[in-house]
Chain A
Amino acid sequence: MSEATPAPDKPTGSTAPAAPSRRDDGLEARAQGALREMLTSSWLVTVLAIVLALVISAVLIAAADPEVQDAAGYFFARPGDFFSAVGSAVGGAYLALFQGAVFDPGANTVARQIRPITETMTWSVPLILAGLGLGIGFRAGMFNIGAQGQIILGAIFAGYIGFAWDLPPVLHLLLGVIGAAVGGAIWAGIAGVLKARTGANEVIVTIMLNNIAVYLVAYLLTLTSFKREGSNNPISPVIGENAAYPLLLGSQFRLHLGFVVAILAAVFVWWLMNRSTLGFAFRAVGSNPSAARTAGMNVNRVYILVMVIAGAFAGLAGSAQVLGTEKVLTAGVAASFGFDAITVALLGRSKPLGTFFAGLLFGALRAGGFAMQSRTGTPIDIVLVVQSLVVLFIAAPPLVRAVFRLPSPGGRGNAPAAELSAPVVKEAAA
């Protein structure tokens, strides 16, 4: 694998073994070590992966732009036209993306100017919550693709409690949220129990459960107990006022309490994975199920618990949609959050803080994507390209280092690549 990383500016052999941890070396070596650490840090790779993804997407944006195509027709006569057309197409799209996701200086009121960043936060809530759940699974060596179905189940439970029951404030919301978590946990628990009992591959089972959930919600919305009265469309009644997440910044913004739930969930996941015995068992099973079993851990119980907890988080993501953003249950309530959450968890390296920021980033791409589509006509589909490329590049640090000519850590090209793939690979080997 060493030929995978052509690193012309690799430090010479004498400094290569100087690991950053060795303190008693000379000042020069330490400085070089620090620089090396910076250049090989995973954060730098993350940033560069995002840059690379944006550059490749820019090529697509430019290629599909009619003015760029016209200018390319007479490229050799006036190359300047071509480059200015590319610049305006790409620049315009990315500027609109930024203005739709962070801050819009062109709006007339302050509220409208800062509205984009609150939209980003609103979009990020389900992504963060579902991503946290998936991250727990990845670290325990379970590849759960079922967040989509778990979100739908959470939404069904939360929605039903929201519109069918009539309860006092606080209690109603609390029950709705708990219901959502239970719904997601049940759905994911099926995959966990099947894996523990029969060894059924959780990838296949969760994919199937996703599809079943899609038809289940479509079926439920044809029933009189779920359908809005007097409507022929598959749409539920609006949830009760007491069941809705309170808005955080007043009625001008859609941002709701779900965002706080997402933050609390991230803190909880950090505690669970890094400070609790259960989290230790999760990580132990993730890195080597056989060793965990030898050490006396009940691996099958861990499989079930991991799925149940992951499903509960995905269910919470469903509650954020039904009780927060949408306030009704529809067949499309989960949009593609479940699938996007996979990329969120991968981008966040399955860690709570990383997942939180990855969720914010993808929420921003989503919020900005709509603005970009309406202002410059660049379809929002390009956001999918950016997202998938970011994750691909992050999963292959040697590729990013090769593109940007960075030195590889420890002199071995493939070490960090294994980091992302290790748990799943080991799990499959067991």
Chain B
Amino acid sequence: MSAVATAPAAPAPATGKPLPPISYKAPIAYTAVAAVALLLFGILPASGKQTAFTVSTSTDFFQIERFTVPSKLTAIVLCLVALGLSAWTWQAARTRRKVGIWLPAVYAVALILALLTWAVAGKNQALPLTSLLQGSLFLAVPLVFGALAGLLSERSGIINIAIEGQLLAGAFLAAVVATITQSAYLGLLAAPIAGALVSLLLVAFAIKYIVDQIIVGVVLNVLVVGITSYLFSTVLSDNAATLNSPPRLPTLPIPVLSEIPVIGPVLFRQTALVYLMYVVVIVLQIMVFRSRWGLRLRAVGEHPKAADTVGIKVNRTRVWNTLLGGAVAGLGGAFFTVANGLAFGKEMTGGKGYIALAAMILGRWSPKGALAAALLFGFADNLQVVLGIIGTPIPSQIMLMTPYVVTIFAVAGLVGRVRAPAAEGIAYVK
């Protein structure tokens, strides 16, 4: 995947084969969305309104004053930037060059800022940018872990729909262990075990009994919801104080780094779980694409027969990586209970596992892509909360819908063709 992002912009060498026809789907989509945004946020609204932003939190070492910008002008400028980037994609498509990952990123940031400027226009309250980002990162944590879990198993060829169940199991065990031991960190240690147990069932049925992997995943989600809800309604409710009141994971500001304006509080004033997430993303990004383990993992997921021929144990690789994935997802489940200091509740993951699955696909099965997609979903989630407080013209349900609509567009190929590992979902039988 990283090869795609850094692909040289050289034109295709003149070979005998005719080139495939140029697809203008992506440029059309980019242009259409930017034009609609320009109309909605820039041209249609009344002029003369101001939008206020705050950047610093009250505890920051460096204080940056709240600033206001004229709403209409700012929105128009931002939308024009997006339109300019759309023009770039036309040019790139015409000359058959690949656009870098920076383009959709900048495009999205420009449009999101335009949306924010429009949504908060004319309000007395300022939009707290820093806490918006901080909350987005926080809400993205389970999605990142879930997406990485899906990535690990799918790169090895096992479809993991059971992320939801793994998150829920992790949340459950983390809450119970943290309450019994009165230590949030021990809860964090227990969560991966629960996730790995769900994965164990997944591989047992998918590899040993060759049941369709999607079916096992869907059913395991129901099973985990059933078991955890049942135990919650019986054992946990009867002994809420001794079994289900976990302590909260403390926030650990990193000295010096956490004092940097804006990015300090966002990135370095978080809990251990978030720091762990940074480590896992970086390690996996390197290991999956640069290590022997990663090469074997991908080989098994792309062409198991070839991998087997050179002596890689296909099913063993799949089992271990799916178990590892389950553990990672379980860790993400700890977010719902110990990271928030909340008691376990029925179905408290609320479909986040499915969103994580979408983040993995949107991130094209790469750790950094998954991180970016998860941050996007986390941002949409948090934006809805923040705008709900300030009060905006957009109904909250429409805001909540947005990430799912974006995913559908992404999967439908408008953001770029996504390609799953070739052998995904196919049981390997010698």
Interface residues of A (CB under 8 A from B): 1, 4, 60, 64, 66, 143, 145, 190, 194, 197-201, 203-205, 207-209, 211-212, 215-216, 218-219, 222, 339, 342-343, 346, 378-379, 381-389, 391-392, 395-396, 398-399, 414, 417-418, 420-421, 424-425, 428-429
Contact = CB atoms under 8 A, between A and B. Distances in A.
Interface stretch (B192-200, B209-217, B305-313): B209-217
A4 B210 CA distance: 11
Interface in B339-388: 346, 351, 354-355, 357-358, 361
B358 A207 contact: yes
Contacts of B351: 211
Interface in B316-353: 346, 351
B209 A396 contact: yes
B244 to A, nearest CB: 14
A204 B358 contact: yes
Contacts of B408: 190, 194, 200, 205, 208-209
Interface in B40-55: none
A215 B424 contact: no
Contacts of B401: 211-212, 215-216, 219
A272 B426 CA distance: 29
A418 B215 CA distance: 12
B405 interface: yes
B222 interface: yes
B231 A207 contact: no
B74 interface: no
Given A212-B401, A215-B401, A396-B205, A343 B222 contact: yes
9 contacts: A64-B235, A203-B161, A208-B404, A212-B405, A342-B218, A378-B234, A381-B232, A395-B212, A425-B425
Contacts of B354: 207, 211
A428 B424 contact: yes
A392 B161 CA distance: 15
A60 B227 contact: yes
Contacts of B182: none
B223 A388 contact: yes
Contacts of A197: 412
Nearest to A395: B211
B223 A208 contact: no
Interface stretch (B78-86, B295-303, B392-400): B392-400
Interface centre among B223, B226, B346, B398 (most CB of A within 10 A): B226
Interface in B48-66: none
Interface of B: 161, 205, 208-212, 214-216, 218-220, 222-223, 225-227, 229-235, 238, 346, 351, 354-355, 357-358, 361, 395, 397-398, 400-401, 404-405, 407-408, 411-413, 420, 424-427, 429
Q: Closest 9 CB pairs between A and B?
A: A384-B226, A421-B212, A379-B233, A219-B397, A64-B234, A396-B209, A388-B223, A381-B229, A385-B226
A208 B420 CA distance: 18
Nearest to A402: B209
A388 B212 contact: no
A204 B361 contact: yes
Nearest to A220: B397
A392 B209 CA distance: 10
A403 B209 CA distance: 13
Nearest to A389: B223
B358 A395 contact: no
A215 B235 CA distance: 33
A395 B208 CA distance: 12
Given A207-B354, A398-B209, A421-B211, A428 B426 contact: yes
B358 A66 contact: no
B214 A143 contact: yes
Given A64-B235, A205-B408, 15 more contacts: A200-B408, A203-B214, A208-B407, A219-B397, A343-B219, A346-B215, A346-B219, A382-B226, A384-B230, A386-B226, A388-B219, A388-B222, A392-B220, A414-B429, A424-B214
Contacts of A396: 205, 209, 211
A252 B171 CA distance: 44
Contact of B210 (A1, A60, A385, A386): A1
B223 A194 contact: no
A421 B238 CA distance: 41
A302 B226 CA distance: 36
Contacts of A60: 227, 230
Contacts, number: 158
A215 B214 contact: no
Given A215-B397, A379-B230, A204 B210 contact: no
B360 to A, nearest CB: 10
Contacts of B407: 204, 208
Nearest to B208: A4
A222 B397 contact: yes
A357 B238 CA distance: 37
Nearest to B223: A388
Contacts of A386: 226
Contacts of B214: 143, 203, 424
B227 to A, nearest CB: 6
B210 A379 contact: no
Contacts of A216: 397, 401
A414 B210 contact: yes
A168 B335 CA distance: 55
B215 A421 contact: yes
A379 B233 CA distance: 6
Contact of B413 (A200, A203, A208, A384): A200
Contacts of A424: 212, 214-215, 425
B211 A420 contact: yes
A387 B216 CA distance: 13
Contact of B230 (A4, A145, A203, A385): A385
Contact of B229 (A145, A201, A379): A379
A222 to B, nearest CB: 7
Contacts of A387: 222, 226
A429 B211 contact: no
Contact of A384 (B229, B395, B425): B229
Nearest to B206: A421
A418 B232 CA distance: 36
B417 to A, nearest CB: 9
B413 A199 contact: yes
A1 B429 contact: yes
Contacts of B232: 381
A207 B427 CA distance: 24
A140 to B, nearest CB: 15
Contacts of B216: 392, 395
Q: Which of B230, B361, B426 has the most CB of A within 10 A?
A: B230
Contacts of B404: 208-209, 211-212
Contacts of B212: 395, 420-421, 424-425
A219 B226 contact: no
A417 B223 contact: no
Nearest to A190: B408
Residue among B209, B231, B233 facing the most chain A CB atoms (10 A cut-off): B209
Contacts of A207: 354, 357-358
Contacts of B420: 201
A382 B413 CA distance: 41
B411 A204 contact: yes
Contact of A395 (B209, B346, B395): B209
Contacts of B215: 346, 391, 395, 420-421, 424
Contacts of A201: 361, 411, 420
B233 A428 contact: no
